């Protein structure tokens, strides 16, 4: 309230509940793929309905949003483990996985080795 009294123009920033306008989907997804949010939320944040989001996503990336997100997150995980020498316990949450078990299972399914084996390979 004090800020609004001293700077009335801030009301447009603090209380803007408009639906976001349609933004560049490819750029947005490449910048925000690590966030663990629903497809509905990704659609809303890019200014699209869920069906439009999925349709335009498929046209741009030639795959579904779910598959693309998983691949992108796992590729980033491999890079962080192999090149940045990070530990699986330090990265799984930052990459949008809710628990280490799910991360390890998905990682092993994609790469054929567990995240901890990647760490051991570089030693």
User: 1-14: per-residue pLDDT in tens?
Assistant: 676 677 777 666 56
pLDDT average, residue stretch 89-99: 95
Q: Can you state the percent helix, strand and coil of the chain, rounding each to 5?
A: 65, 0, 35
Give the list of residues 6+ apart from residue 98 with CB closer than 8 angstroms, or none.
Answer: 36
Q: Give the pLDDT of residue 8.
A: 74
Residue 69 confidence (pLDDT) above 60: yes
Confidence check: pLDDT of 95 > 60: yes
Whether pLDDT at 97 is above 90: yes
| Dist. CA 34–CA 40, nearest whole Å | 16
**pLDDT at 115 > cutoff 90:** yes
Whole-number pLDDT of residue 13: 57
SS3 64: coil
What is the homologous superfamily of the domain 20-121 according to CATH? Homeodomain-like (1.10.10.60)
- 98 phi, psi to nearest 5 deg: -80, -30
pLDDT exceeds cutoff 70 at 86:
yes
Domain ranges of the chain: 20-121
- Assess whether pLDDT exceeds 70 at residue 20: no
């Amino acid at each position: 309230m004090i800020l609004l009294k001293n700077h009335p123009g801030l009301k447009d920033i603090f209380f803007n509940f408009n639906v976001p306008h349609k933004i560049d989907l490819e750029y947005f997804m490449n910048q925000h793929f690590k966030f663990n949010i629903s497809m509905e939320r990704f659609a809303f944040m890019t200014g699209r309905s869920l069906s439009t989001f999925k349709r335009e996503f498929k046209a741009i990336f030639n795959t579904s949003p779910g598959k693309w997100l998983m691949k992108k997150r796992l590729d980033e995980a491999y890079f962080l483990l192999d090149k940045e020498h990070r530990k699986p316990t330090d990265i799984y949450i930052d990459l949008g996985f809710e628990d280490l078990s799910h991360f390890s299972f998905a990682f092993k399914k994609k790469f054929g080795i567990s995240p901890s084996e990647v760490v051991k390979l570089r030693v």
